[in-house]
């Protein structure tokens, strides 16, 4: 159980809020770009497998380098990763505006996913270091609410931009979001952070030390499942929505409904954290995800799809703050960034291979079995976390 969160001091609060605001703007471009890339591929008459490949390329480089990025952020802090990420996301999201080609979508996906992941790891590490054990769940809830806002805004902006200005110009609209904090960063020129001394990290420390730890390993697995469920939603809904005749705006609204639900449930996270363990929340989230994926392909009416998307968002939205809090609780001193990198590598592995698998399945037998396959995986994950929770002391 968690103790009631303490209040952050003024400078720490301002720093965290500014960091979250910057991350929201970049994440809007990432979320919107992910949807726009899928819909642009469909617009170019790509197969379901090709759309899956476009989505999977968002995660392939982060899958390979996340651990190294985590170690790097342990040393250098947030400023340099943030600058690299804002430039990269802007470039990645702009490329399809100038060239209509599936190959360009592949390249854009690689750049966009890799660039955002730099900021994602650095932000999670920085927020954890800027908080204390008593305030960590609170600030990770703030960060998760920020991600909820951008998860709402990105798909909605992308959908309406596509319907009103076309596929290519929608990427120009999305590029404005990372450009704003990038300009602010260049104008304000924050003082560079001194290199961090990574304390208490043995010279022979190896990434397998983290994976061998049973609690951390269970967190990594649960986190990968939650992330897979979240990201498969952003891949499968545009494909399924197009198949049943929804407009880009309607698809964006469905995905926005999911984002609204994640925001709503995160408003109540401080209350949930006082009454439920992290493992209880993870089990709930995976179970809700299983039910939601089982129901989604059974409906074609927009109101029903909005309701199921909202239901899914309530389940998945509760998990992220708990996962990040768990990692900071149990990771060895000085290796939280590395642990976040391992987690990111796990989740990007699922994000790389599952769109290909489900895209191929969708092309071969249709999207209904693909949705139900995800439902089965999530149900098995809920059983796993439920058993793990019984092993942890309350």
Per-residue HEC secondary structure of the chain comes to CCCCCCCCCHHHHHHHHHHHHHHHHHHHHHHHHHHHHHHHHHHCCCCHHHHHHHHHHHHHHHHHHHHHHHHHHHHHCCHHHHHHHHHHHHHHHHHHHHCCCHHHHHHHHHHHHHHHHHHHHHHHHHHHHHCCCCCHHHHHHHHHHHHHHHHHHHHHHHHHHHHHHCHHHHHHHHHHHHHHHHHHHHHHCCCCCCCCCCCCCCCCCCHHHHHHCHHHHHHHHHHHHHHHHHHHHHHHHHHHHHHCCCCHHHHHHHHHHHHHHHHHHHHCHHHHHHHCCHHHHHHHHHHHHHHHHHHHHHCCCHHHHHHHHHHHHHHHHCHHHHHHHHHHHHCCCCCHHHHHHHHHHHHHHHHHHHHHHHHHHHHHHCHHHHHHHHHHHHHHHHHHHHHHHHHCCC
Contacts of 303 (CB under 8 A, 6+ apart): none
Closest CA to 31 of 144, 159, 184, 182: 159
Q: What is the distance between the alpha carbons of residues 370 and 202, in angstroms, rounded to a whole number?
A: 45
Our CA angle for 334, 26, 73, nearest 5°, is 15
Token pair 């990198």 is at which residue? 341
Walk along the chain (394 residues) and give the pLDDT tens digit of each residue.
Answer: 344 444 566 666 777 888 889 999 999 999 999 889 989 998 998 888 888 888 888 878 877 777 777 778 777 778 888 899 999 999 999 999 998 899 999 999 999 989 998 888 888 778 777 666 667 667 877 887 888 888 888 888 998 999 999 999 999 999 999 999 999 888 877 655 544 544 455 555 666 777 777 777 888 888 778 877 877 787 788 888 888 988 888 988 998 898 888 888 888 877 776 777 778 888 888 899 899 999 999 999 999 999 999 999 888 887 776 776 777 677 776 676 677 777 777 777 766 777 777 777 777 777 788 888 889 989 998 888 888 766 555 4
pLDDT per position as a tens digit, 289-332 = 899 999 999 999 999 999 999 999 888 887 776 776 777 677 77
Question: How many residues comprise the chain?
Answer: 394
Q: Is 27 exposed, middle or buried (0-12, 13-18, 19+ CB in 10 A)?
A: buried
Domains and CATH numbers, the chain: 10-188+206-391 (1.20.1250.20)
Q: What is the distance between the alpha carbons of residues 143 and 148, in angstroms, rounded to a whole number?
A: 9
φ, ψ at 193 (rounded to 5°) = -75, 140
φ, ψ at 7 (rounded to 5°) = -90, 135
């Amino acid at each position: 159980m968690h103790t009631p969160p303490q209040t952050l001091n003024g400078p720490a609060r301002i720093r965290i809020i500014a960091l979250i605001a910057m991350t929201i703007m970049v994440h809007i471009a990432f979320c919107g770009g992910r949807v726009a890339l899928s819909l642009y591929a469909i617009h170019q008459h790509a197969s379901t497998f090709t759309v899956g490949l476009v989505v999977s390329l968002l995660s392939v480089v982060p899958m390979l380098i996340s651990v190294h990025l985590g170690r790097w952020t342990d040393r250098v802090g947030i400023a340099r990763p943030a600058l690299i990420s804002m430039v990269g996301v802007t470039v990645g999201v702009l490329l399809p505006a100038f060239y209509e080609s599936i190959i360009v979508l592949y390249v854009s996906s690689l750049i966009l996913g890799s660039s955002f992941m730099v900021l994602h790891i650095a932000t999670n590490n920085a927020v954890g270091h800027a908080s204390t054990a008593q305030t960590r769940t609170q600030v990770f809830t703030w960060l998760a609410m920020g991600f909820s806002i951008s998860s709402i805004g990105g798909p909605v902006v992308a959908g309406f931009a596509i319907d009103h200005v076309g596929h290519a110009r929608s990427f120009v609209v999305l590029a404005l979001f990372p450009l704003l904090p990038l300009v602010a960063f260049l104008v304000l020129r924050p003082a560079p952070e001194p290199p961090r001394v990574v304390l208490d990290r043995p010279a022979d420390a190896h990434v397998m030390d983290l994976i061998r730890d049973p609690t951390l390993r269970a967190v990594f697995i649960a986190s990968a499942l939650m992330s897979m469920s979240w990201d498969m939603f952003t891949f499968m809904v545009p494909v399924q929505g197009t198949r049943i005749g929804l407009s880009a705006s309607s698809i964006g609204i469905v995905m926005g409904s999911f984002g609204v639900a994640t925001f709503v449930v995160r408003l109540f996270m401080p209350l949930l954290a006082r009454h439920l363990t992290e493992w209880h929340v993870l089990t709930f989230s995976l179970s809700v995800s299983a039910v939601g994926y089982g129901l989604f392909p059974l409906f074609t009416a927009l109101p029903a799809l909005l309701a199921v998307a909202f239901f899914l968002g309530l389940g998945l939205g509760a998990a992220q703050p708990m996962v990040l809090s768990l990692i900071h609780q149990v990771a060895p001193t000085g290796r939280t960034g590395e642990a976040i990198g391992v987690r990111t590598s796990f989740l990007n592995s699922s994000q790389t291979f599952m769109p290909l698998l489900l895209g191929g399945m969708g092309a071969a037998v249709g999207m209904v079995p693909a949705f139900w396959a995800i439902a089965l995986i999530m149900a098995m994950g809920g059983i796993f976390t439920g058993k793990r929770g019984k092993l942890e002391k309350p």
